[in-house]
């Protein structure tokens, strides 16, 4: 491991492993420092064992059926529900049986640690076991079950790591029940205050809070939810892509460089209601036609900057077939890998929208049309998330792990990419070296019962995860 990675974790001096039994009573065949390319290849993930965990845990919070096969149902395992408690109980029991010591923090995050040859902050693999209310079987679950499979592979092969390795299950990543996504890795990383998270009320008409539900299901841990109390040397997260890129470009593994920045705005266009039959184009202030031009222009400008721009909500007034709308609001979601790209895109759009509202032409939008009277446009900012850049050392471990599997075909079968969606790795990356591994999502579908990743791809992803953690552990010693 490079100096940077060691330095990143060197301040976690409060870490003192409270267990040694497993590592001192076992005769190990290998230390990770002894694993060369051939030996790395022998650390095989068992496809059937991995898939069994995925589908076995789906019994807790089974969702909508979409096909006839037994595994063709979605998931509905909201955070801290009874179903989530059952999945957590399975997680604790399973990891402990595999030789781990588990710790639950004040946000219900569960950390299962397998001892290494030396003490020190563990390298973690993990994700989350909660799902969307109409979610699928892979989002989050794959990352946790693959990390558990990693424990089995290490045990099968009598591998003792240099330092401890762990598996983490983060609480309420989806933000579907308690309305902040990634809230518990956010608290752990110091980005979100504990009280604020504890007091989050469940969505809908219920009165439960995160804290009351943590208590109710017995997962309000006594350990502080803090990266200082529970340090990580590194965090690796295997996840489904939730988009169509890998599948459409026939790659098997996404080597994730970071998470896109995004900014959410509400754009308000005000014109003047008027009669569709009696008002010529040249004297209309048509707020919807103006908004239509802005939506098209946002797409063009995002194309120019290699970014994304999307409108998912549009409302208008008064809403009558024979009245030209005088008032339109629409959402604008812009995303790019780098903050400076978003800065430039946002500035272009502010300029363009002002021109469009003033009835001036932008890039031929007024060509063949009739210029009308001006509208006004105003922006309000709903959310801003800066770009996340993952740690080059962790990315390098993922690359090395992929190379072991794919050899000469690595370039063809892997793709360096940026995550479009947020993940717990966004918060872990703020306090420890982090990176992610993506596997293809069929049709790019996610947050839907039909979310699907093939057994082959789940297995390949888990294999890269195991390889990445082992490689990272090896490099910690090589320095």
- Are 434 and 394 contacting, i.e. CB atoms less than 8 angstroms apart? yes
Residue with smaller CB distance to its own copies, 162 or 327: 327
Residue with smaller CB distance to its own copies, 286 or 399: 286
Q: How far apart are CA 131 and CA 465, in angstroms?
A: 21
Query: Helix, strand, coil % (nearest 5) of the chain?
Result: 40, 20, 40
- Nearest alpha carbon to residue 91 among 44, 176, 22, 151: 151
Residues facing 324 on adjacent strands: 274
CB of 309 to its own copies, least distance (A): 9
Q: How far apart are CA 42 and CA 53, in angstroms?
A: 22
Residue with smaller CB distance to its own copies, 379 or 406: 379
Rg of the chain over Cα atoms, rounded to whole angstroms, equals: 25
CB of 171 to its own copies, least distance (A): 21
Q: What is the largest CA-CA distance in the chain?
A: 90
Q: Footprint of its own copies on this chain (CB under 8 A)?
A: 241-245, 248, 260, 262, 264, 274-281, 283, 286, 288-289, 291-293, 295-296, 299-300, 302-304, 308, 310-314, 316, 318-325, 331, 333, 335, 363-365, 367-370, 382, 419-422, 444, 446-447
CB of 386 to its own copies, least distance (A): 14
CB of 144 to its own copies, least distance (A): 20
Residue with smaller CB distance to its own copies, 275 or 340: 275
- Are 186 and 385 contacting, i.e. CB atoms less than 8 angstroms apart? no
Residue with smaller CB distance to its own copies, 40 or 338: 338
CB of 193 to its own copies, least distance (A): 25
- Are 337 and 387 contacting, i.e. CB atoms less than 8 angstroms apart? yes
Residue with smaller CB distance to its own copies, 204 or 277: 277
Residue with smaller CB distance to its own copies, 193 or 306: 306
CB of 444 to its own copies, least distance (A): 6
Residue with smaller CB distance to its own copies, 9 or 446: 446
Residue with smaller CB distance to its own copies, 214 or 337: 337
Q: Which residues, including other chains, have CB under 8 Å from residue 203's CB and lie 6 or more apart?
A: 176, 177, 178, 179
- Are 307 and 261 contacting, i.e. CB atoms less than 8 angstroms apart? no
- Nearest alpha carbon to residue 128 among 71, 24, 57: 57
CB of 296 to its own copies, least distance (A): 5
- Are 271 and 160 contacting, i.e. CB atoms less than 8 angstroms apart? no
Could you tell me how many residues make up the chain? 479
CB of 199 to its own copies, least distance (A): 24
Residue with smaller CB distance to its own copies, 99 or 372: 372
Separation in Å, CA 17 to CA 6, 104, 231:
18, 15, 11
Residue with smaller CB distance to its own copies, 84 or 286: 286
CB of 276 to its own copies, least distance (A): 4
CB of 243 to its own copies, least distance (A): 3
Spell 194-218 as b/e; 16+ CB within 10 A means b. beebbebebeeeeebbbbbbbeebe
> Would you call 274 exposed, middle or buried from its count of C-beta atoms within 10 A (0-12, 13-18, 19+)?
middle
C-alpha dihedral (86, 90, 125, 383), degrees to nearest 10: 0
CB of 359 to its own copies, least distance (A): 13
């Amino acid at each position: 491991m490079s100096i940077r990675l060691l330095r990143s974790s060197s301040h976690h001096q409060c870490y003192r492993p409270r267990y040694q039994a497993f590592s001192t009573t076992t005769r190990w065949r290998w230390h990770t420092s002894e694993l060369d390319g051939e030996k790395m290849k022998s650390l095989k993930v068992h496809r059937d064992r991995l898939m069994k965990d995925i589908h076995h845990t789906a019994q807790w919070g089974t969702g909508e059926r979409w096909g006839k096969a037994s595994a063709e149902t979605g998931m509905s395992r909201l955070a801290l529900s009874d179903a989530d408690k059952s999945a957590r109980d399975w997680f604790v029991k399973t990891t402990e049986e595999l030789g781990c010591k588990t710790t639950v923090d004040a946000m219900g995050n569960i950390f299962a640690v397998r001892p290494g040859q030396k003490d020190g902050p563990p390298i973690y693999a993990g994700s989350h076991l909660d799902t969307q209310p109409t979610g699928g079987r892979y989002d989050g679950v794959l990352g946790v079950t693959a990390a558990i499979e990693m424990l089995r592979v290490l045990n099968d092969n009598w591998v003792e790591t240099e330092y401890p390795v762990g598996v983490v299950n983060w609480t309420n990543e989806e933000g579907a029940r308690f309305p902040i996504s990634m809230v518990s890795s956010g608290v752990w990383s110091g980005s979100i205050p504990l009280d604020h998270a504890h007091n989050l009320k469940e969505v809908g008409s219920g009165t439960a809070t995160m804290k009351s539900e943590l208590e109710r299901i017995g997962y309000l841990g006594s350990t502080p939810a803090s990266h200082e109390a529970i340090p990580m040397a590194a965090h690796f997260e295997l996840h489904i892509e939730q988009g169509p890129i890998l599948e459409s470009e026939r790659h098997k593994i996404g080597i994730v460089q970071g998470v896109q920045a995004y900014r959410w705005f509400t754009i308000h266009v005000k014109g003047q209601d008027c009669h569709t039959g009696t008002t010529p184009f040249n004297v209309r202030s048509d707020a919807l036609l103006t908004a239509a031009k802005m939506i098209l222009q946002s797409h063009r400008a995002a194309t120019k900057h290699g970014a994304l721009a999307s409108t998912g909500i549009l409302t208008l007034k008064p809403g009558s077939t024979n009245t030209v709308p005088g008032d339109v609001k629409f959402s604008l979601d812009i995303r790019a890998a780098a903050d400076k790209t978003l800065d430039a895109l946002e500035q272009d759009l502010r300029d363009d929208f002002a021109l469009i509202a003033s009835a001036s032409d932008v890039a031929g939008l007024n060509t063949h049309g009739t210029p009308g009277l001006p509208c006004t446009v105003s922006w309000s900012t709903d959310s801003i998330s800066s770009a996340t850049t993952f740690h080059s050392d962790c990315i390098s471990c993922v690359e090395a792990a992929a190379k072991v599997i794919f050899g000469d075909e690595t370039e063809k079968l892997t793709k360096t990419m940026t995550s479009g969606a947020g993940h717990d790795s966004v918060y872990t990356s703020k306090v420890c070296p982090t990176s992610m591994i993506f596997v293809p999502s069929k049709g790019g579908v996610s947050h839907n019962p039909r979310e699907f990743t093939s057994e082959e791809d789940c297995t390949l992803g888990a294999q890269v995860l195991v390889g990445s953690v082992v490689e990272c552990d090896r490099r910690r010693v090589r320095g």
